[in-house]
Amino acid sequence: MKHKRKFSSKQFVIKTATVGLLLNMLASPVHSVFADEVKTPATTEKGTAAGNTTAKAAVKIPGIESLQLEVDSAVLIEPTTGEVLLSLNADKPLPPASMTKMMTEYLVADAVKNGQISWDQKVVVQENASKQIGSRIYLAEGDEHTVRELYIAMAVGSANDATVALAELVSSSEQEFVALMNETAKKMGMKTAYFINSTGLDRADMPAKFQPKVDRETVMSAMDAAILAKYIVTDHPDFTEFTTIQSYKFRQRDDKPMVNYNWMLEANKDIANFKAYAYPGLDGLKTGHTNNAGNCFTGTAVRDGMRLISVVMGANSEAHRFTETKKVLDFGFNNFEIKQVVGPKAVIAGNETVPVQKGKNKDVSIVTDAGVTFIVPKGTVAPQINTAVTVNDAATLVAPITNASKVGKVTYSYKVEGMSQVQEKTVNLITAEEAEKAGWFKLLMRAIGEFFSDLFTGIKNLF
C-alpha cells in the first residue's frame, strides 16, 4: 500500500519568508534571494559566425614545390593576422648580412618616436663609425650629420658607418646598442636572432678594437626577419618615407648619389636598369649581402589593401634574390586575400542578450565592438569561422549599465585548409543599449512573484 508523503510545517517554514524580509533585501548585494538568476555561459563553440554556414574556396592553393625556389630559406607572412603563407627552412638561423640593419632602423625610429632623439639632431661621428668597411659613405671622425641624413644613408645605401653612428647615438656604445637589439628581439618573439653588431658585418670585418668579446656571429632566421619587418610596418608605418627613396646625394660635393639597393621598388618601373625587377606595390624593405650570407632580401608590398612580407635568404646572386622574391610575393597575392568575416556591431547567434540583475528588463542586447578580418584563399565566399563566447561574471551585470559597456568577449578562429596555423582574433561584446535600473516597487513585485513561484515549485516537488 502506497502512502502519500505529507508536507511538514518545517518544510513549509523553510520555503517561506516574510514580505518585510524581502523589503530589507531590496538594498542588499546582487546575491539576494530575489535577485534575477544570471548564469555566466561557459565557453561555447559554434560552427560559423555571422550566419556563415558553408565554406567555398575558388582557389586551390598550390604546393610550395611548384615555385622551385632556389634559396636557402624563405617565408611569406601577412602581418595583421600573422598568418604564414609560405615557409621553406624558415626557422633555420642563417647570417642575415645587412638585413640586420632592420633592427637598428626600428630602434632608431623608436627613439625618435619616444622623444629620446630627433630627426634634425646633429650626430658627431666617433672612431668606431669612421673605421667601418663594406658599404659606407666614408664618414670621418668628427663629421657632423643629422639623424635623418644618417638614417637615409642606412636605409638606402646600407651604409655601415652611418648605422654605427646612429647606434652610438641611441646608446653610449655600439655594444650597448647590441644588447638593446638582442633584448628587443626576445620581446618581439624572434626565436633564433642573435646580434653582435648593428650592421650585419661578420665579426672579422669589424674594427678589431670594437669587436665583441663573445666569439659568435650574427644570425637570424627568415621567420625572425619577417617578424622584425612586421614590427617595422606596424609600429612605424611611415617607414616608406625612407625605404622608397630611389637615390640620395649625401653631400653636395659627392660625385654621384647613392642608389637604393632595392631594385624591386615599384617606382623603378621607369628606370632602364631596374624596370625588369620593379614590382607593383613594393615599397621596402632591406637587402643584405656578405660572402657568408649570400644575397638576402626582406621585401614588402601592398595590393588591394593587403600587405605581405617576404624574406629570402641565401640567393646566389644580387638579381636572383629579387626574382625569387617575386615568386614568393606572387604566390601570396595570386592565392590569398584579406576578407572581413564579421562586421562591427555583429550579433552572435545564441548570444543575442545577457541577463541583467535589477534592471527594468531582465536582459540587454549585446553586439561585437569591432569587425574581424582573416586572410583566406582567394575567392572564398563563406569561410567557416568558429566562435567562443564568454560573458562576464553575473555579479558585474547589475543595472544600471550604460550603452556600449563591455560585458564579455568573443574569440573567432579560422584555419586555412592545408595550413597548420590557426588565425585567431578576440573582440569585446558590448551592450547595444542602456540597461536602466528598475524602481523599488517593480523589484519588490518581481521578487514576490519569484518567491511564490519558487515556493509552489518546492511544494509540488514534495508530492
Q: What ranges make up the beta strands (E) of 292-342? A: 294-303, 306-315, 336-342
Closest CA to 230 of 96, 111, 103, 398: 103
Cα separation, 376 vs 374, whole angstroms: 6
On whether the CB atoms of residues 170 and 107 are closer than 8 A, the answer is yes
> Per the residue annotation, which of 73, 158, 198, 310 is the catalytic one?
158
- DSSP code of residue 209: G
Q: Does the active-site annotation cover 247?
A: no
Sign of CA dihedral 211, 215, 221, 227: negative
Q: Burial-class residue 317 by CB neighbours within 10 Å (0-12, 13-18, 19+).
A: exposed
HSE (side-chain half, CA atoms, 13 Å) at 388: 8
Instruction: Please enumerate in sequence order all residues whose Cβ is within 8 A of that of 92, keeping only pairs 6 or more positions apart, or say none.
Output: 72, 73, 192, 221, 222
Cα–Cα separations (whole angstroms), residue 281 to 266, 302, 390: 6, 5, 40
Sign of CA dihedral 174, 175, 179, 185: positive
Matching residue, cell 617606382: 267
What are the cell numbers at 111?
627613439
Cα separation, 187 vs 165, whole angstroms: 24
Q: Does the active-site annotation cover 9?
A: no
Q: Does the active-site annotation cover 66?
A: no
What are the cell numbers at 374?
582573416
> Per the residue annotation, which of 73, 101, 131, 221 is the catalytic one?
101
> Per the residue annotation, which of 98, 198, 310, 405 is the catalytic one?
98
DSSP string, 121-169: -EEE--HHHHT--SS-----TT-EEEHHHHHHHHHHH--HHHHHHHHHH
Amino acid 256 reads: K
Return the H-helix or E-strand segment holding 201: none
10 Å Cβ neighbour count for 255? 6
Q: SS3 of 320, please?
A: helix
Cα separation, 76 vs 309, whole angstroms: 6
On whether the CB atoms of residues 84 and 90 are closer than 8 A, the answer is yes
Closest CA to 175 of 210, 220, 132: 210
10 Å Cβ neighbour count for 80? 17
Residues acting as catalytic residues: 98, 101, 158
